[in-house]
Amino acid sequence: MGTAGPATAQPASSLPDLRLGQYDHSRPTLTGGGALHSPAQPKAVNGQYVVRLREAPVTSYAGGVKGLAATRPANGQELQPHSVAADRYRQHLGQAQRDVLADFGVRAQQTYTTAFNGFAAKLSDAQAAKLARDTRVAAVTPARLVKADAATTTAPEGQGAGQAAAKTAAAQKAAQTKPVHGSDVVIGVIDTGIWPESASFAATMPRPAGWHGTCQTDENFPATACNGKIVGARYFADGWLSAYGSLPEGEVLSARDMNGHGTHTASTAAGLPVKHAMVLGHDYGAISGVAPDARIAVYKALWGGSGTDADIVAAIDAAVADGVQVINYSIGSSMGDYQPNSPIGDAFLNAYLAGVFVAASAGNDGMSGMISNAEPWVTTVGATVERSHEATVRLGDGSRIVGTSMDRLPSDRRTPIVFADQAGSLDDGAQFCWPGSLDPAKVKGKIVACDFIDSVAAVAAVKDAGGVGVVLFQSTGNVRLNVIYDFPTVYLWSDEQAGKLFNYLWAHRSDGTASLVTGGDGSSLVGLPSVAGLSSYGPDQVHTGLQKPDLVADGIDVVAAVSPVSGGRLFDAYSGTSMAAPHVAGMAAVLRARHAKWSPGATASALRTSATDTRGTTSPLRQGSGLPRPASADDPGLVIEPSAAELKAFAAAANPDGKEINLPSIALREYDGTKPVRLVRRLTNVGTRTETYTARVDGLTGMKVTVTPRTFSVKPGATKTVTITLERGTATWDRYATGSLTFSSAKHRVRLTVAGRPWGFTPRPYDDTGIEFGRTGGQGQGFLEPGFTGPLAGRTTGYTPVAWKDKKLTTSVSGGVFSPGGVGTQATKIVVPRGTAGLIVQTASDDPDTNLDLYLYKDGKRVDRSWASWHSNERSVRFFPEPGVYTAYVHAQTAASSDVPYQLGVTVVPEQADRHNATLTTPASVQRGGSAQVTLNPVGPQPDVEQWAYTEFRTGRTTVPGLLISSR
């Protein structure tokens, strides 16, 4: 995980310098074969553009061109992509594209007509600008790179490439006896291709009605690969080859999967039952795709784990023309979507309008707002942990650290354990177990603890040096998941675990012992299933008014078929939202087979309104509507689905807001808290009898919510419109209130999840954790971004001086790992009384060779940390902190000597103080979305020390919390 090499030399120190924690390990980006066996990511796509023309593609053409009949399917009807009308209209679009290309002297690299009307081309900046002004052109978008959304490193090379081949007959028999799940539905998998010889696909099936696809064969992909279970296979590389000239090393121009990711997602969605998923001789049990009777159509558009949007759009265009009913898209952008109305998003809109359900991964950045595939017509899926796979490191002092493992562990036998810095050269990266850095004489017969950069390489290095086990950790923490290493390995994913282990090893440099034991005490999780730490979550930073993710599903340590090219395995455990999305794609296929007339919106609504909460959170920001329950979704009672007009208007808007779209959720990211918000939802009875429903509000603390009518009856096939009014009430400004509206009948429970954040002075496309964006000001000034329009008056508490104290801690190591009470750490208690507006904790040091980190805990749990890697001026600001006793831990991450002097500053600002040492100047009024400056004016002599003040404001009768402003 990560790409850095061994540590570079650091400034001289009288202390041993392990150089840990001086950079933040990058988050994992790709599961399986692609993580280590493909080249580095290619450079950004330069000079490539995707051009969308204004005329509708085949999926959306409603008529209007003389002599050309409409091709858009009527409600409840399927697209006929190869009808006479469609072929004639496609010819019309082709000629229009050629006209535009000729007028600008441009050659198309790819053209699209079914789900997207346009072309991909290499353009100069001048050509792109001129094309964008042409009235025939809707958008000219620079091409971008997208990647597979899975998240572990690959497993080591192994044996057993044919161990599962004998399972084919068993898999076929199981498929024949299992109840029908998704029969005749085709799932299009846009990914890295497929390994067709896998037992997960070894069944001959008839060609489903309405299928128009093809099997693109070559020396690497024989015609026999398309056996009916794999009903079609294509590949798309024109965009990649145009941008980069050649395929990544190890790739073949074929639908064959040389990576593993595409095979895994395809088998998760629709793989046949396999009784024994064998990985290197170990049986991981029976597996099956969610819709084992569904067909799979392969659209390879990723090469070495990445692809261009030009090729992705071509794959979507082909999938819709071929006749798929469901698309799985386990692909996204690093750090989430960066703009609305992308070419891929537009193609998926047209696929949706043609009746295709799209499930897509939410992304693995593990941070708020970093959502991929956030369009309202896409069902965006986050990941859950559904198997604990706990393993315990039992240390010689009796302490235990519960981590994870999917390997066979050597029971309770106590074994010497060493931190890898004692087993080789630090300059060669021994502390990271970098390949070639370990001395076999110091490793043989021992368990080795590695602050790994590359987990697979670290395990291999210990194994090659004669070690008997590995404990993997990262000093800065990472995410919880597993790789099957085929070697006794326990992974400790959090920096708290890393600190506990490191401090034991540092105290027992020569006599440390440990045992690695399968199982744990359940403490590593809040419960099962729970939202995975790697799963990107809401709110959606690109659009207001949308709840994303929509759902969460199994995404950690998912065992499924893979390509044996990279690791010699036919099955493996992968993790990420890539693994979650095909679970939902499979569920959609099962529902489509049972309810052929349901639209994609009705299918999505059924899955969402019948979903349940995960363990540990009920927040829609984290889990969306929750975990889908296919059995309940089969009979949802009511569905809430958007109209085509609503979605098209959203797609056409420069700054789209989805709160008024008829979706089975309500998201108010930045609503005006001074006014009520009125929304309409249309609920359609898809059951077989008239039912009476009553609305109930759950959660939404402080908000006033009314539903009109609160009780209503609705006949089968009929639609009832309800008006939902939401007011801030006493809900906290600039904080999320979350909950749900539930419509219950005697038989059904239909839940709409709700998240609302009244915008006071800090608009925020993120959740309420982490840094307080926009909450602080300096040098006596603050800047407001008001979420309302109206008069403004303000008050201030006046300045409270920072209470600085000279402190000194001792340490015996530089570049170690933090743990409360550990080496190089000092604790200070801070009492925060009720009614505190702000708590500011700061550190400072004059020593340029010292780097301090600051950790803030309450009730034994971390609430904040500040750990910049280049200085000691750390700061933690808590706005309206919970009252109680806090502990500030200062850790000498880097030190030049064993005695480390520093200063600790603490400021507790009471909300109702009036110190009379400053006045506040405010503008008379503000405008929503504008800006305003406020100034603190000192009154009388001021101490020569930094000070902090709280400010709050009134508009009419409403009080809005303001800022914490520093005098410096």
Instruction: State the amino acid at position 494 in one-letter form.
Output: S
Q: Is the per-residue pLDDT at 821 higher than 80?
A: yes
Predicted pLDDT at 772: 63
Q: Express each pLDDT in 669-720 by its tens digit.
A: 999 999 999 999 999 999 999 999 999 999 999 999 999 999 999 999 999 9
Which one of 17, 191, 337, 540 is the catalytic residue?
Answer: 191
* Cis? peptide before 564, omega within 30° of 0: no
Tokens linked to 691: 């039912």
User: Averaged over 464-488, what is the pLDDT?
Assistant: 94
**Active-site residue 713, yes or no?**
no
User: Averaged over 184-192, what is the pLDDT?
Assistant: 97
Tokens linked to 368: 């708020």
**Residue 703: closest CA among 666, 730, 663, 736:** 730
Predicted pLDDT at 172: 34
Q: Is the per-residue pLDDT at 149 higher than 60?
A: yes
Q: What residues contact residue 125 under an 8 Å CB cut-off, 6+ apart?
A: none
Model confidence at 24, pLDDT cuts 50, 70, 90, reads low
End-to-end CA distance of the chain: 40
Predicted pLDDT at 854: 97
**Active-site residue 578, yes or no?**
yes
User: How far apart are alpha carbons 893 and 811 in whole angstroms?
Assistant: 10
Q: Contact at 8 Å (CB) between 653 and 646?
A: no
DSSP readout, 910-922?
ETT---SSEEEE-
Predicted pLDDT at 183: 86
Q: What residues contact residue 84 under an 8 Å CB cut-off, 6+ apart?
A: none
Strands (E), 567-659: 571-574, 638-639
Q: Is the per-residue pLDDT at 163 higher than 80?
A: no
Token match 């697209």: residue?
79
Model confidence at 80, pLDDT cuts 50, 70, 90, reads very high
Whole-model pTM: value is 0.93
**Active-site residue 103, yes or no?**
no
**Residue 391: closest CA among 265, 480, 282:** 480
User: Averaged over 506-535, what is the pLDDT?
Assistant: 95
Predicted pLDDT at 567: 79
User: How far apart are alpha carbons 57 and 354 in whole angstroms?
Assistant: 11
Q: Between residues 596 and 161, which one has the greater pLDDT?
A: 596
Q: Express each pLDDT in 371-393 by its tens digit.
A: 999 999 999 999 999 999 999 99
In the predicted model, what is the mean pLDDT of the chain? 91
Which one of 578, 610, 876, 967 is the catalytic residue?
Answer: 578
**Residue 949: closest CA among 932, 959, 937:** 937
Model confidence at 170, pLDDT cuts 50, 70, 90, reads very low
How, if at all, do strands 447-451 and 469-473 pair?
Answer: parallel
Predicted pLDDT at 335: 87
Predicted pLDDT at 151: 62
Q: Is the per-residue pLDDT at 4 higher than 70?
A: no
Hey, is 454 helix, strand or coil? Answer: coil
Q: Any bridge partners for residue 847, and if so which?
A: none
Q: Is the per-residue pLDDT at 177 higher than 60?
A: no
Hey, is 957 helix, strand or coil? Answer: coil
* Least confident interval from 15-19, 39-43, 366-370, 468-472: 39-43
Token match 């080496």: residue?
823
Q: Express each pLDDT in 597-617 by its tens digit.
A: 999 999 999 999 999 999 999
* Cis? peptide before 529, omega within 30° of 0: yes
Q: Contact at 8 Å (CB) between 610 and 203?
A: no
User: How far apart are alpha carbons 173 and 193 in whole angstroms?
Assistant: 26
User: How far apart are alpha carbons 747 and 800 in whole angstroms?
Assistant: 59
How large a percentage of the chain has pLDDT more than 90?
Answer: 85
Model confidence at 438, pLDDT cuts 50, 70, 90, reads very high
Q: What residues contact residue 413 under an 8 Å CB cut-off, 6+ apart?
A: 515
Predicted pLDDT at 11: 46
* Least confident interval from 164-168, 577-581, 896-900, 927-931: 164-168
Q: Contact at 8 Å (CB) between 149 and 330?
A: yes
Q: Contact at 8 Å (CB) between 814 and 898?
A: no
User: Averaged over 4-23, what is the pLDDT?
Assistant: 63
Please give the C-alpha separations between residue 712 and each of 390, 690, 743, in angstroms, as whole numbers. Answer: 48, 10, 10
User: How far apart are alpha carbons 961 and 787 in whole angstroms?
Assistant: 12
DSSP readout, 829-883?
EEEE-TTEEEEEEEEE-S-TT-EEEEEEEETTEEEEEE--TT-S--EEEEESPPS
Q: Is the per-residue pLDDT at 27 higher than 90?
A: no
Model confidence at 83, pLDDT cuts 50, 70, 90, reads very high
Predicted pLDDT at 711: 98
Predicted pLDDT at 173: 35
Tokens linked to 961: 């919390």
Predicted pLDDT at 247: 96
User: Averaged over 184-209, what is the pLDDT?
Assistant: 96
Which one of 37, 261, 543, 583 is the catalytic residue?
Answer: 261
Predicted pLDDT at 41: 53
User: Averaged over 440-449, what is the pLDDT?
Assistant: 97
Q: Express each pLDDT in 542-560 by its tens digit.
A: 999 999 999 999 999 999 9
Q: Contact at 8 Å (CB) between 153 and 273?
A: no
Q: Express each pLDDT in 830-874 by its tens digit.
A: 999 999 999 999 999 999 999 999 999 999 999 999 988 788 999
Model confidence at 46, pLDDT cuts 50, 70, 90, reads confident
Spell out a b/e string for 104-133, using b for 16 or more CB atoms within 10 Å of the CB, else e.
bebebbbbbbbbbbbbbbbbeeebbeebee
3-state secondary structure 138-157: EEEEECCEEEECCCCCCCCC
CB-CB neighbours of 625 under 10 Å: 27
Please give the C-alpha separations between residue 762 and each of 328, 770, 780, 892, 903, in angstroms, as whole numbers. Answer: 37, 14, 19, 34, 31
Predicted pLDDT at 8: 43
